[in-house]
Amino acid sequence: MKPVLTDTITAPAPSGTAAVRSEQATTFSVLMCPPTHFTVQYAINPWMNPDIPTDTAAANRQWQELRETYLRLGYDVQVVEPVAGLVDMVFAANGGFTLDGKAYGARFLHAERAPEGDAYLRWFEQSGFDVHRPRYTNEGEGDFLLCGETILAGHGFRTSTEAHDEVRGIFDREVVSLRLIDPAYYHLDTALTVLDGRTIAYLPAAFDEAGRAELAHRYPDAILVDEAEAAVLGLNAVSDGHTVIHAPQARKFAADLRARGFETVGVALPELLLGGGGIKCCTQELRR
């Protein structure tokens, strides 16, 4: 079901994208972290190669365009202070999962990112969330996506199934476990986009047979995205239930979205893509 709409906001579309429709979802709030210290120093996913130079200034300009897009759309944008040495902290979606005023913290698989968990937990505490420190490995909204009243939960690479049980207990919601099988799509949010409370888009090849069957059963009207568009992190998109902010290279996906009645905005993040992150990776939804 589409969300209740609020006041009209005029939002000029970035060059080369579709026009942005004026109404936006009520109190859509997101958390971001500027890529002040972003670079690729190590390789913990197939996208990362420390031998390829990164341009931190360019990453900051691209991130700023994404933030300004959200502001034009009328979103509440909260910003967490980046910590020196935490080069992947820009990927705010991984820092936790919030729902009903509760914040479930992240416990990162790789030692390089482990300190990010405490940095985000401090922000949640200071911002008035009921904080739950994790016992099990999980990477926040990278692997936990809310669709209606159901939490879709990825595992196979970064998040443990024990964390799925932990989330079920904290939030008292149905949690559906989905196994990821392609290392290029190591987080659920690289292989699946929640578009509104009952609609998703996903890459079938990223999931095992049981996961594909589960998604087909629950979401028979889902948008199926091919590997060419998923490979530019086209599914690493943000939707407020009305407008979808996506990688502009995913042209067919954007056309499919418009055919379903969604507005689309393309924002390019090529520098951050070198770290294996896209629009959704940079964006954690805050639900109070």
Catalytic residues: 187, 281
Q: Check: CB of residue 48 under 8 Å from CB of residue 277.
A: no
Q: Look at the chain and count its residues.
A: 288
Q: Mapping DSSP to helix (H, G, I), strand (E, B) and coil, where does residue 246 land?
A: strand
Q: Please, where are the H alpha helices in 47-94?
A: 56-72
- What letters, b where the CB count within 10 A reaches 16 and e where it falls short, cover 25-56? beebbbbbbbbbbbbbeeebbebbeeeeebee
Alpha-carbon torsion 43, 48, 50, 55, what sign?
A: negative
Strands (E), 76-125: 76-79, 96-99, 102-105
Strands 284-286 and 192-196: unpaired
Strands (E), 12-113: 29-32, 76-79, 96-99, 102-105
Q: Mapping DSSP to helix (H, G, I), strand (E, B) and coil, where does residue 70 land?
A: helix
Q: Check: CB of residue 33 under 8 Å from CB of residue 19.
A: no
Q: Which amino acid, residue 218?
A: R
Is the backbone of residue 96 left (phi > 0), alpha (psi -120 to 50) or beta? left
> How far is it, in rounded angstroms, from Cα 252 to Cα 201?
12
Q: Check: CB of residue 284 under 8 Å from CB of residue 78.
A: no
**Tokens found for residue 211:** 């996961």
